[in-house]
Structure 1
Amino acid sequence: MASSSAAAVLVCLLLSSAAIAVLAFDVKEILAPEPDFSSFTKYLTDSKVADDINGRKTATVLVLDNSAVAPLAGLSAAQLKDVLTVHVLLDYYDPDTLHRLFKNKSAVIATLFQNSGHAADDNGLLNYVEKADESMYFGSAAADASPDSELIKVIGARPYDLSVIQVSKAIIPPAVAGGSDASTSAGGNATSLAPKAGVDTATSASSDAAAAPGPAGEKKASSAERVVVVGTALGLAMAMAVFGAL
């Protein structure tokens, strides 16, 4: 009887571990086969922002190719991390979900910088707009900024967990670009996500996106994803073997 109980516990642990593994993703695995994004990938890695992304359940990363990263080169380490986290949206988006979710063709979207609690005013938020020709743009929601970074294409995605999208230019909030402190003072509160007039706020795109078709041009699973799937299969096989031995 005791051996049966122990076996049941072991099976539960194996299945739980397998389920957790399936949820994991790695933004660097998506970007690794793309040499045009090597500089941005290095910035994500060196700043540890890649680890922050991989620790999330959902994220959309706005990435720059090597020809567009020059504005990041002169930033301090702290400024660079702030800017990189501005390029990480807290939910899953691709062109289809953006077009479908935001009926007003505009939205205020929270970023990882906003989520840190360090962003002052609207420095941690992005404005999104879709123009009449269906082109899509992002930009800082801070005062005196405009959405002028165009969505170019989807680099890779795992619906509805991780989306990696190329944009045309770096999004640098004015407070960071001006060299001033973009963070709140100690004990300060992050800006609330109050809706602006005529603008949607994005807080639950992934749950709504779950019923939508996958993005066009979706890539095959990365090598890391194939590894966790294999690991899951091995876990299930081990569980079956334990039951068979009872």
Structure 2
Amino acid sequence: MSSSSSSSLTLFFFFFFASTFLYTSSNSFNITTILNQNKDFSTFNQLLSQTGLASTINSRQTITVLALSNDAMSSFSGQSIDDNKRSLSLHVVLDYYDVKKLKSLSKKTALLTTLFQSSGQAKGQQGFINVTVKDNGDVMFGSGVRGSGFDAQLIDSVASQPFNISVLHISSYISIMNPDNNPDTIYTSSSPLPAQPPNDDDYEFDEPPSPPSPPSSAKAHGPAAAKAAAPAPKASSSKANSTSSASAISSQLELAFAVVMSSSFLLFMTV
């Protein structure tokens, strides 16, 4: 290999590794290191590590963590590691939201997808958080289950690295609700994930109205329409019979042709 080729190859690898390092550095974060800077979140930080959610959060490129201070962690005491993991995963939003973005929601409300939703254990809207900006500017959080109230209020921002990670301090624990609006009922479902709403600040969580019932006149004509449609199978049957007859005739013609050809061949051999 010539010296010029060797130099070119060396430069290529240098720029490749340099660009890779810069990209990784600009998109990496460590939630444990971030929370270690404030002792008020030591219990929350410890539970993230115990449940394995810290490494899951660090593996994401875009995330928002709704952190609880030590005095708001009583709901997690006495629970199993698995239960704490489910509860904490509802406090991890799979998108970037800082204080400015939340207060700038065009419709003052949005439904946010959480890590609990992506776990496959959420039922219905359990894995979503409803965030709403009140008229006085307060930002409130609650379960995405229809009819649920608000559990927590945004206090302030702990840290942010736009647009990779945002850590927000909220006042209290957000409950996992079941479809009957009873708190803390956990479902473990192996069924596929329900359809997720679009990742859009303008998403309205109100469900579309049910389609109107058919008018009585349409119901009255139902039997008549069914009766009129009854002869259809007969037409299909006659069509099938026609097809069978055509196939039989074609088979007979082929047989006759084969007989004629055989006779001609035998006559030729005799001559």
TM bucket (normalised to shorter chain) is 0.7 to 0.9
What is residue 107 of structure 1 aligned with on the other side? 110
Q: Does 1:8 align with 2:23?
A: no
Preserved CA contact (<8 Å) 1:60 1:163: yes
Q: Distance in 2 between matches of 1:200 and 1:147?
A: 19
User: How many residues are aligned here?
Assistant: 196
Q: Distance in 1 between matches of 2:173 and 2:166?
A: 18
Q: Distance in 2 between matches of 1:82 and 1:138?
A: 17
Per-residue CA distance 1:120-149 (angstroms, 9 max, x = gap): 111110001111100001111124531220
What is residue 136 of structure 1 aligned with on the other side? 139
CA displacement at 1:40 relative to structure 2: 0.4
Q: Which has the higher contact order (CA 8 A, sep 6+)?
A: 1
CA displacement at 1:28 relative to structure 2: 1.4
Cα distance change, pair 6–194 in 1 and its aligned pair in 2 (3 A): closer
2:103 maps to a residue whose letter is: H
Q: Distance in 2 between matches of 1:60 and 1:134?
A: 20
Q: Distance in 2 between matches of 1:179 and 1:68?
A: 16
Q: Distance in 2 between matches of 1:140 and 1:116?
A: 16
Pairing of 1:4-153 with structure 2 (within 5 A): 4-11=7-14, 12-100=16-104, 102-153=105-156
1:39 maps to a residue whose letter is: T
1:166 maps to a residue whose letter is: H
Cα distance change, pair 179–171 in 1 and its aligned pair in 2 (3 A): closer
Preserved CA contact (<8 Å) 2:151 2:173: no
Per-residue CA distance 1:58-88 (angstroms, 9 max, x = gap): 1110011010000011322111111111100
Cα distance change, pair 167–56 in 1 and its aligned pair in 2 (3 A): same
Per-residue CA distance 1:157-194 (angstroms, 9 max, x = gap): 1111111111111112024976644232x2x1112224
What is residue 166 of structure 1 aligned with on the other side? 169
- Among all aligned residue pairs of Structure 1 and Structure 2, give the percentage whose two residues are the same amino acid: 30
SS in 2 for 1:45: helix
CA displacement at 1:20 relative to structure 2: 1.4
1:94 maps to a residue whose letter is: D
Q: Distance in 1 between matches of 2:6 and 2:83?
A: 57
TM-score (norm 2): 0.67
Preserved CA contact (<8 Å) 2:176 2:185: no
Q: Distance in 1 between matches of 2:182 and 2:85?
A: 13
Per-residue CA distance 1:28-70 (angstroms, 9 max, x = gap): 1211121111100100111111111111111110011010000
The range that moved more, 142-151 or 62-71, is 142-151
CA displacement at 1:14 relative to structure 2: 3.0
Cα distance change, pair 36–159 in 1 and its aligned pair in 2 (3 A): same
List runs of 5+ in structure 2 lacking aligned partners: 205-271
Pairing of 1:192-231 with structure 2 (within 5 A): 192-194=195-197, 200-201=202-203
1:61 maps to a residue whose letter is: V
Preserved CA contact (<8 Å) 1:135 1:150: yes
Q: Distance in 1 between matches of 2:28 and 2:86?
A: 24
Cα distance change, pair 49–149 in 1 and its aligned pair in 2 (3 A): same
Q: Distance in 2 between matches of 1:7 and 1:89?
A: 42
